[in-house]
Copies of this chain bind each other. A is one copy, B any other.
Amino acid sequence: MATGRTHRPATRSRGIPEATVARLPLYLRALTALSERSVPTVSSEELAAAAGVNSAKLRKDFSYLGSYGTRGVGYDVEYLVYQISRELGLTQDWPVVIVGIGNLGAALAGYGGFASRGFRVAALIDADPAMTGKPVAGIPVQHSDDLEKIISEDGVSIGVIATPAGVAQQVCDRLVAAGVTSILNFAPTVLSVPDGVDVRKVDLSIELQILAFHEQRKAGEELGAEAGAEPSAEPGATAAAVPPAARAAEDAGRKGPDGDMPAVMPA
């Protein structure tokens, strides 16, 4: 997760936990699938399985929305679809602009699940004059000179940044200045925005690195099945205990659970 700025200090009741909000789209997707198969009701158990969570969590989540659901029976699918949609603000439609129409921008523009659920691609914007007018996914690309005009004319409040990292901040600044208050950032940079603007980021490289971390763990686990896998370092010890490594040492006492810096850096 990664929302940019504050979200008010929980105004007492009616404050749905952020973790719950993040799962509502999951439930909605599962419910929509059930709805299409004309399933009238689901139990928390079934729906939870379809959404990939456990049923206690799902029930807790729904309890924040209200007491939809019937004891002994389950939840009315259509009714829940509507309630969650409303809660998420999907009963109105949200015009969205995508800035940066490279491979990724094009992929996003063509993404189906987009139009389907309350979102509408209002404009595609790119800085390359050669792109201007070229249709991508059926929508003509507009030049970034017109960014402000597009935003204000269409009343766009959500912007997607799919530009190179180098220009992401300035694109962001222009979007915000023009009135955008929610940004989905695909560029691998930290964006800074004023209070009241939400930023969420999607970052391939971060996700891969997290996977690599766990992958490495698995590899280290094949040997030393029971006890604490890696060698060195006792649990409670706050002591020094410098590991016997090759580092081009200068002074003493840098400690760490394992491995010191090698003479030649691999990066």
Contacts and interface: CB of A to CB of B under 8 A. Distances in A.
A181 B107 contact: no
Nearest to A28: B209
Contacts of A182: 211-212, 214-215
Interface residues of A, number: 97
Contacts of A104: 104, 107
A118 to B, nearest CB: 7
A14 B261 contact: no
Interface stretch (A38-46, A76-84, A124-132, A140-148): A76-84
Given A256-B67, A261-B82, A25 B211 contact: no
A67 to B, nearest CB: 5
Given A182-B215, A229-B11, A204 B114 contact: yes
A21 B254 contact: no
A157 interface: yes
Interface in A29-68: 29-30, 32, 50-52, 65-68
A194 B138 CA distance: 40
A87 B260 CA distance: 11
Interface string A204-233: 111111111111101000000000111001
A1 to B, nearest CB: 6
A266 interface: yes
Which of A25, A104, A108, A192 has the most CB atoms of chain B within a 10 A radius of its CB? A25
A212 B94 contact: yes
8 contacts: A14-B229, A52-B190, A82-B261, A86-B259, A90-B267, A182-B211, A198-B215, A200-B210
Interface of A: 1, 3-4, 7, 11-14, 21-22, 24-26, 28-30, 32, 50-52, 65-68, 78-79, 81-83, 85-92, 94, 96, 102-104, 106-108, 110-111, 113-114, 117-119, 157-158, 181-184, 188, 190, 192, 196, 198, 200, 202-216, 218, 228-230, 233-236, 254-257, 259, 261-262, 265-267
